[in-house]
């Protein structure tokens, strides 16, 4: 990657793992306050995600008109590749936008509202104050807006969205939009269970650290039972959705730390492979548990297309539309699913573990699936099974109901 920094323009030759022939665009935008006044001299951060991790790319500052330009940006069209543009004006709320390759050429309007603070206190198990604990603003929920249904995630740590507790265990995080309904805070401290606390943004948090549990295990290739070194192991709690990740060593062994009491699903994430996950492994506070072996297999595929009910033609129902599966690789006892973006031509392909898999479609803004909205399909090792979905445009009334947070199944 080559970065050319000018006064207010940054040139990026390539972001992501896509081919060099991917088109380049100037990623342009404006930063305004909630009264549409430009915000000048504000740092705009650009980060990239491959679907597993976020990493910072570069940053620039807005000009006197609140404008910014990242020059010649190329983003891979891979299903998980995306950018985040984040602004944190002084004494105002954060503003952000998430961008896929299909939206790269469209201008971005970031709006920074008035800010409020989220506060709380952290205690250790004996009830005394926990000093020096880093608390991170992981996500927040705002009222839905056009092109934004309200959930904002902030996976990048070590920013102004972090706070460190004082001698009394107190912390305060600023730059929270004044219309935020709820927030999720996260803290990871050596020797203690990971904390993810969701609550009302107006109510001070009371966080109590708990002793950590640990899970050890190993990953093997099913074909020859040899160790699988340096593959990613991911776990998620079935009840509380707390998650951790790690990588196997040369012998294929792994250790998951900072776990709280829960029932854990554990699986492997590796290119061109899948596995049958550990389903609902019970773990109590402070436990040390050895999980069963995870075996990498090639699995099979579910492929298909999405059809527009009105035209009868294949279509991609929204830039972020995808298919998702529960099954042996992602047990229905947990919240995690395996996903694959729907291509521009309306087709999709997703690798699945052998067994019974539940696949369903998740439409983008303004689209809705027509029954059947999901299928349960048995897929064998090396087999490809097909499934097609039908979608339609939502009515104006349905869009308004969706923006208001009303769930409906009609």
Q: Residue 405 domain-assigned?
A: no
Whole-number pLDDT of residue 240: 79
| Three-class SS state of 399 | helix
Domain end residue (candidates: 247, 273, 297): 297
CATH number of the domain to which 323 belongs: 2.60.40.10
Q: Which of 13-22, 309-318, 327-336 has the lowest mean pLDDT?
A: 13-22
Over residues 184-228, the pLDDT tens digits come to 999 989 999 999 899 999 999 999 999 999 999 999 999 999 999
Q: Residue 308 domain-assigned?
A: yes
Whole-number pLDDT of residue 205: 96
Q: Are residues 77 and 131 in the same domain?
A: no
Domain end residue (candidates: 89, 112, 135): 112
Over residues 361-406, the pLDDT tens digits come to 999 888 999 999 999 999 999 999 999 999 999 998 887 776 555 4
Distance CA 363, CA 391 (A): 8
Q: Is 33 exposed, middle or buried (0-12, 13-18, 19+ CB in 10 A)?
A: middle
Q: Please provide the average confidence, as pLDDT, over all residues in the chain.
A: 88
Q: Residue 248 domain-assigned?
A: yes
Distance CA 310, CA 250 (A): 54
CB 24 within 8 A of CB 103: no
Q: Are residues 125 and 220 in the same domain?
A: no
Residue identified by tokens 């201008």 is 107
Strands 54-61 and 67-73: unpaired
Where in the sequence is the domain holding 276, given as residue range(s)? Answer: 213-297
Whole-number pLDDT of residue 296: 98
- pLDDT of 236 > 60? The answer is yes
Q: Are residues 95 and 121 in the same domain?
A: no
Whole-number pLDDT of residue 145: 58
Over residues 157-196, the pLDDT tens digits come to 767 899 999 999 999 999 999 999 899 999 989 999 999 8
In percent, how much of the chain has pLDDT > 90?
A: 69
Residue 180 backbone dihedrals phi, psi, to 5 degrees: -65, 130
Whole-number pLDDT of residue 403: 59
Q: Residue 68 domain-assigned?
A: yes
Residue closest to 273 by CA, chosen among 329, 332, 344, 334: 329
Looking at the 3D structure of the chain, how many domains does it have?
4
Long-range CB pairs of 4-8, under 8 A, 24+ apart, other chains included: 4/71, 5/58, 5/60, 6/71, 8/60, 8/61, 8/62, 8/63, 8/67, 8/68, 8/69
Whole-number pLDDT of residue 159: 74
Residue identified by tokens 């097909």 is 386
Over residues 65-118, the pLDDT tens digits come to 999 999 988 887 766 688 889 998 999 999 998 888 778 888 999 999 999 999
Q: Are residues 218 and 286 in the same domain?
A: yes
Q: Are residues 18 and 54 in the same domain?
A: yes
Domain end residue (candidates: 281, 297, 313): 297
Confidence of residue 144 (pLDDT cuts 50, 70, 90): low
Residue identified by tokens 């665009």 is 25
| Three-class SS state of 224 | coil
Over residues 337-356, the pLDDT tens digits come to 999 989 999 999 999 999 99
Whole-number pLDDT of residue 85: 92
Q: Which residues contact 269 (CB under 8 A, 6 or more apart)?
A: 52, 231, 232, 233, 234
Q: What is the mean pLDDT of residues 260-269?
A: 96
Strands 384-386 and 300-308: parallel
Q: Are residues 35 and 68 in the same domain?
A: yes
Q: Extract the tokens encoding 253.
A: 């062994």
Give buried/exposed letters for 105-139 (b at 16+ CB in 10 A, else e): eeebebbbbebbebebbbbbeeeeebeebbbbbbb
| Three-class SS state of 121 | strand
Q: Residue 23 domain-assigned?
A: yes
Q: Are residues 8 and 103 in the same domain?
A: yes
Confidence of residue 137 (pLDDT cuts 50, 70, 90): very high
CATH number of the domain to which 250 belongs: 2.60.40.1120
Q: What is the mean pLDDT of residues 23-50?
A: 92
């Amino acid at each position: 990657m080559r970065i050319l920094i000018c006064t207010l323009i940054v040139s990026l030759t390539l972001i992501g793992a896509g081919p060099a022939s991917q088109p380049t665009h100037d990623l342009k935008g404006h930063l305004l306050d909630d009264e549409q006044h430009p915000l000048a001299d504000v740092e705009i951060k650009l980060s990239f995600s491959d679907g597993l991790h976020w990493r910072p790319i570069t940053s620039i500052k807005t000009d006197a008109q609140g404008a910014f330009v990242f020059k010649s940006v190329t983003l891979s069209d891979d299903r998980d590749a995306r950018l985040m543009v984040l602004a944190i004006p002084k004494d105002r709320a954060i503003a952000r936008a998430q961008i896929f390759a299909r939206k790269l050429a469209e201008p971005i309007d970031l709006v920074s509202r008035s800010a409020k603070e989220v506060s709380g206190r952290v205690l250790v198990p004996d009830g005394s104050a926990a000093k020096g604990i880093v608390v991170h603003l992981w996500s927040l929920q705002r009222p839905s807006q056009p092109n934004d249904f309200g959930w904002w995630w902030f996976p990048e740590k070590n920013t102004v969205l972090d706070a460190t507790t004082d001698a009394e265990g107190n912390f305060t995080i600023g730059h929270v939009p004044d219309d935020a309904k709820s927030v999720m805070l996260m803290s990871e401290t050596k020797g203690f269970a990971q904390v993810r606390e969701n609550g009302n943004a107006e109510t001070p948090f009371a966080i109590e650290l708990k002793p950590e549990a640990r899970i050890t295990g190993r990953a093997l290739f099913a074909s020859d039972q040899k160790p699988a070194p340096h593959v990613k192991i991911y776990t998620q709690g079935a009840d509380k959705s707390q998650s951790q990740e790690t990588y196997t060593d040369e012998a294929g062994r792994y250790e998951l730390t900072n776990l709280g009491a829960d029932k854990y699903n554990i699986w492997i994430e590796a290119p061109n492979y899948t596995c049958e996950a550990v389903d609902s492994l019970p773990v109590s506070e402070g436990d040390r548990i050895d999980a069963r072996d995870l075996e990498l297999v090639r699995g099979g595929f579910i492929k298909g297309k999405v059809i527009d009910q009105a035209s009868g033609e294949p279509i991609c129902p929204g830039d972020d539309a995808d298919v998702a599966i529960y099954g042996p690789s992602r047990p229905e006892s947990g919240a995690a699913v395996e996903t694959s973006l729907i291509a521009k031509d309306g087709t999709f392909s997703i690798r699945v573990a052998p067994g019974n898999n539940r696949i369903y479609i998740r439409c983008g803004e303004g689209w809705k699936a027509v029954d059947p909205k999901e299928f349960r399909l048995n897929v064998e090792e090396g087999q490809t099974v097909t499934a097609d979905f039908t979608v339609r445009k939502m009515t104006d009334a349905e869009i308004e109901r969706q923006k208001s947070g009303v769930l409906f199944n009609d």
